Structure 1
Amino acid sequence: MPVTRRVLAVCFALAALVAAGCSRESDADEALPVDVAVRDLGAASVLRDQVYAQRDTGALKLDLFLPKQHDTPMPLVVYVHGGGWDAGTRALDADIAAPEALAAQRLLEHGYAVATVDYRLTGVAQSPAQVIDVADAVRWLQQQAGQWQLDANRIGLWGASAGGHLVAQLGAVAGDPTKPGGGLSGIRAVVDWFGPTDMSAEAQVAHPQMQEYARRVIQQLLGCMPVDCPAKADAASPIKNISGDEPPFLIQQGTADSLVPMDQTLDFAASLRRLGVPVELHPYEGLDHGFGRGPHNAMIVDTVTAFVETHV
């Protein structure tokens, strides 16, 4: 993709990240799905408020949803919430009709454990703190795998919006232990729901009149504007860190996404494919950021389940 088109995509994404991670209603039928998730997502047991790390800003916690026990260790999917890196919570079952809850319920039904994790928000820590936190959560779960009958070598990463960015970044650096969050073992797949993938300095250069919120978000995440710290901006951009060592990616996004333009996603998928990384890209016609609610979510959930079962 030409640099100009990529820059435009990045700028539009950054300009709108105030709502990143917040589901918007789509133009599709707004009827709630009949088979909505039950409280606790139908898990056989839920281990809440597990402290996986202590920071000077406080404890970082996760919740672990366990399916019915099996004779063999269970694969694990780790979910990372959205919210523009400055908001959001790990409460995966807070809205049991949301697509995230429906997908998690389906994974549990198919024998996967599902963890949902905290990370430091930009109000208290700058990048790369967020990606380091998620990596530490994964490593902690791997260390504790024996007591919960988890398979530490069969892990999928899944995130939405800002969380999609974080899991994409972890996937990008999985083969490089010298990078923040890098060198994770056992990562079999990445599911990226409409996450931004390019924070590079070109956005500020091409669009000096960026919206004030976008400028503030960049400064909160990076501690600087990309033009003033291009190396740090590149280091936080999944597209700048891919090497061909990445696990398979599933990328799902609405074609009417008003926060992260499809051009950016198409560029990221194409870059992975050029390096030989298996990528499934599923654009959903007319859906906005967050997918909203409606019958289309059944297709989205089916796609996640099939991808995870193939690779994790």
Structure 2
Amino acid sequence: MTAPGPSLHELIAAPHPDRAALPPAAVSAPGVRELRGVPYQEVEGGRPLELDLWLPEADKAAGPVPLVLFVHGGAWRRGRRDDMGLRTRHWSPRPFARIAAAGFAVACADYRLSGEATFPAPLNDLRSALRWLTLRSAELGIDTGRTVVWGESAGGHLASLLTLTEADPVSRGYAQPAGAVVWYAPSDLTTARGCFAPDDPATPEARMLGAAPATVPERARAASPLAHVRPGAPPFLLVHGDQDTLVDCSHSRSLAAALEQAGAPVEAWTVPGADHGWYGLPDAEVEKLFSHSLAFVRRLLA
């Protein structure tokens, strides 16, 4: 008896991201290949989630290259996956091409925003991205066993959570990140800090959680990197402006203190005169912060 073939629905559907062919690469800067809009996850009833990749030219790599997984900001409600923030948008080469030219793969991943789904959906999406990158690592020439997560603002919050928390080791399909670079990110959704009030249902944090943090304390704690600090945590670089009017600098100071107390490696930079997104800093200072962050990645992944 002949087994039934695939249904019409199965035939017309786009190939699953785990099996779909990779798009052709384009040269975005000398020595750097770029792949844009690569699907990594299907979301039932929602948009497919995609990532962009910057890779060193294959002939310049001696073997699989380490990975930087970048997570964009935007108050968990907006933002673009390939945007490192206000002060880098005019750079040429772009920041991700610079990281790739230094010998690292860079993946910039979508995640579901707060208008689409609430926590822990965005964290789970990043876990799925890392799983997909691991699954396709041989084709891409990358080593996800050597991954640093780099995020800014809301993306830094998610990068911290991805680095500090562990998915089920049987199902996750990827190695725990080796460290994190976190720029001006929230670390504590349970305590009033700066302009953030846990009982306000209209804050970006409340929209991300689906309710005012004070009304869902267990969920707020689960979404707070500060609550997940542990001995043996991977190294962190925390960089925050001391004049930040959107995410109070105490978020990074508290996370740094907790990591130090737990015996985890942490380097914390407080940047004088800098508001959120490095607003108010001279261009040369922003370049210095980027270079310092890249040097931290190099030390971890060398």
* Greater radius of gyration (CA): 2
Relative distance call for 1:257 and 1:52 in structure 2 (3 A) is same
Q: Aligned partner of 2:179: which letter?
A: A
Match of 1:290 among 253, 272, 277: 277
The CA RMSD over aligned residues, in Å, is 2.8
CA distance in 1 between counterparts of 2:40 and 2:238 reads 28
2:123 corresponds to which residue? 131
1:309 shift after superposition: 0.7
CA distance in 2 between counterparts of 1:93 and 1:271 reads 27
Match of 2:35 among 47, 54, 58: 47
Partner of 2:299: helix, strand, or coil? helix
2:50 maps to 1:61: yes
1:260 shift after superposition: 1.2
1:77 corresponds to which residue? 68
1:234 corresponds to which residue? 221
Stretch deviating more after TM superposition (42-51 or 246-255): 42-51
Confirm or deny: 8 A CA contact 1:177 1:184 kept in the other structure. no
1:291 shift after superposition: 1.1
Partner of 1:290: helix, strand, or coil? helix
Confirm or deny: 8 A CA contact 1:199 1:233 kept in the other structure. yes
Confirm or deny: 8 A CA contact 2:70 2:106 kept in the other structure. yes
Match of 1:247 among 217, 229, 234: 234
What per-residue deviation string (whole Å, max 9, x for no partner) do you get for residues 117-174 of structure 1?
A: 1000000100000010011101110111000110121111000100000000111114
Seq. identity, %? 32
Confirm or deny: 8 A CA contact 2:187 2:255 kept in the other structure. yes
1:264 corresponds to which residue? 251
What per-residue deviation string (whole Å, max 9, x for no partner) do you get for residues 173-207 of structure 1?
A: 14x638xx98951411100011101111x439xx9
Relative distance call for 1:232 and 1:46 in structure 2 (3 A) is same
2:178 maps to 1:188: yes
1:230 shift after superposition: 0.6
Partner of 1:185: helix, strand, or coil? coil
CA distance in 2 between counterparts of 1:232 and 1:41 reads 43
Q: Aligned partner of 1:135: which letter?
A: R
TM-score normalised according to structure 1 size: 0.78
CA distance in 2 between counterparts of 1:197 and 1:163 reads 11
1:91 shift after superposition: 2.6
Relative distance call for 1:135 and 1:105 in structure 2 (3 A) is same
1:164 corresponds to which residue? 156
- Structure 1 residue runs of 5 or longer lacking an equivalent are 1-38
Size of the aligned set, in residue pairs, is 267
Partner of 1:40: helix, strand, or coil? strand
CA distance in 1 between counterparts of 2:288 and 2:101 reads 16
